[in-house]
Amino acid sequence: MTAAKPHRRLHVKADGRKLHLYGWQPHTLAPTVEIEPLPPPDPHSRWHPLRREWVTYAANRQERTFKPPAEYCPLCPTQAGGFAGEIPFEDFEVAVFENRFPAFHPQAPEPPVLPVETAPARGSCEVLVFTPAHRGDLAGLSQARRELLVYAWADRYVELLERDGVQCVLPFENKGEEVGVTLHHPHGQIYAFPFVPPVQQAAAATFREGPALARLLDRMGDAYTVAARDSMVAFVPPFARFPYEVWIAPRRPLPGPWAFTAEEAADFAALLGETVARYDGLFDRPFPYILSLHAAPKGEERTFHFHAQFYPPLRTAEKLKYLAGVEQAGGAFLMDALPEETAARLRAVAPR
């Protein structure tokens, strides 16, 4: 990314986990009180021979924080003499820390001996906190804060992909209890995998065959466009599997946010906010979704075309799309809303 670089401060927490503080201004506050350490995690992965994919087991995740009251939110700034949260400072702009309940860990132990192939779950799980405010979303953040998030994502991609053993990095955000959110403070997560997950494997194989996403952007026209900027477009894919699914992609193929120009970083940040604002305005209510960022796995940088995907579960203001039996069992999705029509509805919404 060629935009002016924000400041980054590294703080090593009392239990040894790393906390990165990103800001347009230098972060100079003294730490307050640290959270109590937990025993080391011991995740491992097992190979599913019929689906040909890894399944990861992390029993420590059963103890993760579940819907705490606001005064005990672990992602809020930690005030002196107050509840000890994950960020031991009274204020910050954007924070990234190693997850207290990780599914992957750099020092994961050797796996047990089992009748199936196993592997140590060596990777990383991080939490990215968008803002010190307990409530809010990407639409409510300032453009400057969203651009800072884009920089933080890019920085984490670069650092994590440089680690030995990491093959793929996947940032994502879950918004709304409908998709399983248990902490309402605006945040996302970043997983660094020791393997390439199936979805990213398939995408990488497609991009090796040709510029599939660039061709799609050239061919689909305005019927699927929700919003656009000079360097970036938000659109409903013609093959959408969820009602009101939206993708955001740069017009030129880029491997990930680390390759953005300043204009592309600003346009991506703006379209993230506008897409969420249109979602919230669609049914005049906070709109749940899963947002995932798809960048090149290690070694696929030459052909991969970065894009972000929103998967929203609502099909009406009150009705959720539940995966049908054939969708769960066979992966064959069924849709009752045409992408051309959902794109038109989203275009017509004044961002909330």
DSSP state of 269: H
Do 154 and 256 meet the contact criterion of CB atoms below 8 Å apart? Answer: yes
User: Is 326 within 8 Å of 335 (Cβ atoms)?
Assistant: no
Residue ranges in 162-211 assigned as alpha helix (H): 198-209
Q: CA-CA distance, 282 to 344, in Å (whole number)?
A: 11
Extract the runs of DSSP E, i.e. beta strands, from 187-245.
187-193, 225-228, 232-235
CB 177 within 8 A of CB 31: no
Residue in the structure block whose two tokens are 């994919």: 53
Determine which one of 44, 105, 185, 187 is catalytic: 187
Is 187 assigned a catalytic role?
Answer: yes
Q: Is beta strand 289-294 parallel, antiparallel or unpaired with respect to 168-175?
A: antiparallel
Residue type, 295: A
What residues act catalytically? 187
